[in-house]
Amino acid sequence: MESKISNSIAISFYLLLIINFSIVESSNKIHAHRPCKTLSFYFHDILYNGENAKNATSAIVGAPAWGNLTKLAGQNNFGDLIVFDDPITLDNNIHSNPVGRAQGFYIYDKKEIFTSWLGFSFVFNSTQHKGNINFAGADPIMNKTRDISVIGGTGDFFMTRGIATIMTDSFEGEVYFRLRVDIKLYECW
Amino acid sequence: MESKISNSIAISFYLLLIINFSIVESSNKIHAHRPCKTLSFYFHDILYNGENAKNATSAIVGAPAWGNLTKLAGQNNFGDLIVFDDPITLDNNIHSNPVGRAQGFYIYDKKEIFTSWLGFSFVFNSTQHKGNINFAGADPIMNKTRDISVIGGTGDFFMTRGIATIMTDSFEGEVYFRLRVDIKLYECW
Amino acid sequence: MESKISNSIAISFYLLLIINFSIVESSNKIHAHRPCKTLSFYFHDILYNGENAKNATSAIVGAPAWGNLTKLAGQNNFGDLIVFDDPITLDNNIHSNPVGRAQGFYIYDKKEIFTSWLGFSFVFNSTQHKGNINFAGADPIMNKTRDISVIGGTGDFFMTRGIATIMTDSFEGEVYFRLRVDIKLYECW
């Protein structure tokens, strides 16, 4: 009987190994869709228009032949490249204490409607967060929510990846907008 | 005898735990080089030259001191920054029904030869694909094939990573080019 | 007794399955913080200033309304977009044999201090390295060291991810700087 039991154990062992290896082989394909970390912020963009040098947090630095550097171009701003250094706040009040800076660029990239492409970082250096979160992706501005990629991070956000859902929380003419960003990290190290 | 069996079970249990953990620890280093998904598309770029406003899908929005915004610069276009919103098709016919848009920018970045750096997204919103694929990387244009990185995705392409192989399928003067993009995704969620 | 043993085996089987799945479910959360590969390089940037066309490896191609294309703008160069094709060397001597090229762009993005945002690739095509490493992230230039993300790679660096630590090794006025880059890859395929 002992051998019978040994056999049972051997078989269970063998089966478990198979299960293990099949799981591991595909481990980079089966992922939980539950975030390992979530964060929400607002950031505030005041575009330079030739008259607001003191308050402006962003500026047009590239424009198509039909545009210029103090006014967004015709055809839904197509081709305008904007560099920004925007304050990040925890609520939607631009006067709240900034917890970091959103730094990088966006490009308006469609003639028929407002859309843009973003490359930027959230830069944190407070007691609560130290380190950067890096973002890239297409932003179809007219959609209520839109997703871009978290492509990496440093410091507290070492090697992270995820999705950031962007919502336009306020839009005031050509000078001010406020975005809400809900960050869901799915890879945390 | 019972205790003997218990021991055997305990040992097998223990061994399996060791195996498990050793596998898990290295799970981010052992990856299959077989794609979990492959996709092929063409996209079509018509550069604005001052006279083709109606058909143009891209425009120069930055140029070096020796360049301008309606003609690619000398020295192999070095420094020209182009923003684009190009139709994506399943075959090489620009008149085929577009299945999405390629949106973003490229910069010519070498004086001696044509090379560029790309940051863009494939934006899909059809019955077949919903969501974006985000790309970044160097494109040594004169090579027959060249690889850039898939750095993330959203929707159907949630959190994906991979490689996109780019081929110049057609090149007509300074106004039109068509790229074939073979996407191989190695991380699918 | 046999049934008792079977039960024991069944239970151990069951427990191991639970353990397995709980490990696998979180396998993308437990990562070793030890690099799978480290590399160190220098790269050298000579900015075009209107008079050094022959030696320049980079050029301003976008600038804010208050700037121009042959001189970095006031307010800590805010808004200046630079395209570069810089030689990579193994030591800090610009005359050493280049082992590759650093190609891409950076944008100065803060008025109060020097900071920038980088999107670029290391392009290798030597006997030692073939393939590209792609980078993105915020570079707070005045910090002694700063980390950006390795967002992907091709060839020898297929699908890699990691962190690059940047140090300013030399800075000579507005024309020349040299960066040391210590690359630590944490995902190697």
Complex ipTM, two decimals? 0.85
Instruction: Name the residue among C12, C67, C137 with its Cβ closest to that of A132.
Output: C137
Dihedral of CA B17/B20/B23/B24: which sign? negative
Q: Tell me whether residues A62 and C64 touch, CB distance under 8 A.
A: no
pLDDT of residue B18: 46
Distances (CA, A) of A17 to A25, B13, B25, C23, C39: 12, 12, 16, 15, 37
Q: Is B175 exposed, middle or buried, given 0-12, 13-18 or 19+ CB atoms closer than 10 A? A: middle
For A110, the closest of B4, B8, B103 (CB atoms) is B103
The answer to whether the Cβ–Cβ distance between A189 and C33 falls below 8 Å is: yes
Residue in C105, A150, A117 with CA at minimum distance from that of residue B122: A117
**Residue in B117, B143, B187 to test binding to C, most C beta-carbons within 10 Å:** B117
pLDDT digits (tens, 9 = 90+) for A111-134: 999 999 999 999 999 999 999 999
For position A33, what pLDDT does the model report?
80
Task: Please report residues of C whose CB lies closer than 8 A to that of A133.
Answer: none
User: What tokens does B76 get?
Assistant: 């192999």
Please indicate whether, in this complex, the C-beta atoms of C110 and A5 are within 8 angstroms of each other: no
> Which pLDDT score is estimated for B2?
53
How many interface pairs between B and C have CB atoms less than 8 angstroms apart?
Answer: 135
Q: Which ranges constitute the DSSP H helices of chain B?
A: 2-25
Q: Mark yes or no for CB contact B81/C61 under 8 Å.
A: yes
Average pLDDT over chain B, rounded to an integer: 89
**Cross-chain Cβ contact B151/A138 below 8 Å:** no
Of C133, C170, C169, which Cα lies nearest the Cα of C153? Answer: C133
Give me the pLDDT at residue A106, please: 98
Nearest CA in chain C to A157: C149
Let me know: does A11 contact A19? Beta carbons within 8 Å.
no
Rounded Cα distance between B114 and C77, Å, is: 28
Residues B9-25 have a mean pLDDT of: 48
- Token readout for C85 is 């094709």
Question: Which of B60, B109, B113, B134 has the highest number of chain C CBs within 10 A, making it the mutation to test binding with C?
Answer: B109
The one-letter amino acid at C133: I
User: What's the pLDDT at C87?
Assistant: 98
Residue B139 has pLDDT above 70, yes or no: yes
The secondary structure of chain C, three-state, reads: CHHHHHHHHHHHHHHHHHHHHHHHHCCCCCCCCCCCEEEEEEEEEEECCCCCCCCCCEEEEECCCCCCCCCCCCCCCCCCEEEEEEEEECCCCCCCCCCEEEEEEEEECCCCCCCEEEEEEEEEECCCCEEEEEEEEEECCCCCCEEEEEEEECHHHCCCEEEEEEEEEEEECCCEEEEEEEEEEEECC
The pTM is what? 0.86
> Quick one: which of B102, B92, B104 has its CA closest to B171?
B92
Q: Which among A28, A61, A136 has the least Cβ separation from residue B136?
A: A136
Chains A, B: CB pairs < 8 Å = 138
Q: Which chains would you list as touching B if contact means 3+ CB atom pairs under 8 Å?
A: A, C
Residues of chain B contacting residue C69, judged by C-beta atoms under 8 Å apart:
64-65
Q: What is the reported pLDDT for C28?
A: 44
- Inter-chain touch B152–A150, beta carbons under 8 Å: yes
Q: Which of B16, B64, B186 sits opposite C159 (nearest CB)?
A: B186
Dihedral sign computed on CA atoms, order C79, C81, C142, C74:
negative
Query: Which chain A residue has the Cα nearest residue C165?
Result: A154
Could you read off the pLDDT of B27-56 as tens digits, one per residue? 444 466 899 999 999 999 999 999 999 999
Q: φ and ψ at C12, to 5 degrees?
A: -65, -40
Closest CA to C107 of C96, C115, C116: C116
CB atoms closer than 10 angstroms to residue C34: 7
C148: which chain A residues are within 8 Å (Cβ-Cβ)? 134, 154
Poorest-confidence range of A53-62, B139-148, C26-35?
C26-35
- Give the pLDDT confidence score for residue A29 in this predicted structure: 41
Lowest mean pLDDT segment, chosen from A15-19, B96-100, C175-179, C181-185: A15-19
Q: How confident is the model at residue A22 (pLDDT cuts 50, 70, 90)?
A: very low
With beta carbons under 8 A apart, name residues in chain C contacting B61: 62
Question: Nearest to residue A40, comparing CAs of A116, A99, A120?
Answer: A99
Q: Sort strands A100-108 and C37-46 into parallel, antiparallel or unpaired.
A: unpaired
* Range in B1-5, B110-114, C136-140 the model is least confident about: B1-5
Task: Give C135's contacts in chain A (Cβ within 8 Å).
Answer: none
What band does A11 get if pLDDT is binned at 50, 70 and 90? low
**pLDDT by residue for chain C (189 residues), tens digit each?**
455 555 555 555 555 544 444 343 334 444 668 999 999 999 999 999 999 999 999 999 999 999 999 999 999 999 999 999 999 999 999 999 999 999 999 999 999 999 999 999 999 999 999 999 999 999 999 999 999 999 999 999 999 999 999 999 999 989 999 999 999 999 999
Confidence of residue A96 (pLDDT cuts 50, 70, 90): very high
Residue A5: is its pLDDT beyond 60? no
Inter-chain touch A136–B132, beta carbons under 8 Å: no
CA separation for the pair B87, C63 (Å, rounded) = 30
pLDDT band of residue B167 (cuts 50, 70, 90) is very high
Rounded to the nearest angstrom, the gap between the alpha carbon of residue C173 and the centroid of all alpha carbons in its chain is 24
- pLDDT of residue B11 exceeding 70, the answer is no
Q: What is the mean pLDDT of chain A?
A: 89
**Residue of A16, A70, A85 with shortest CB distance to C65:** A70
Is C6–A8 a contact, with Cβ atoms under 8 angstroms apart? yes
A148–B158 CB contact, under 8 Å: no
Q: C61, C117, C163: which to substitute to probe chain A, counting the most A Cβ within 10 Å?
A: C117
Is A85 in contact with C27 (Cβ distance < 8 A)? no
- State the residue for tokens 């008079």: C51
Chain B residues with CB-CB distance to C20 below 8 A? 20
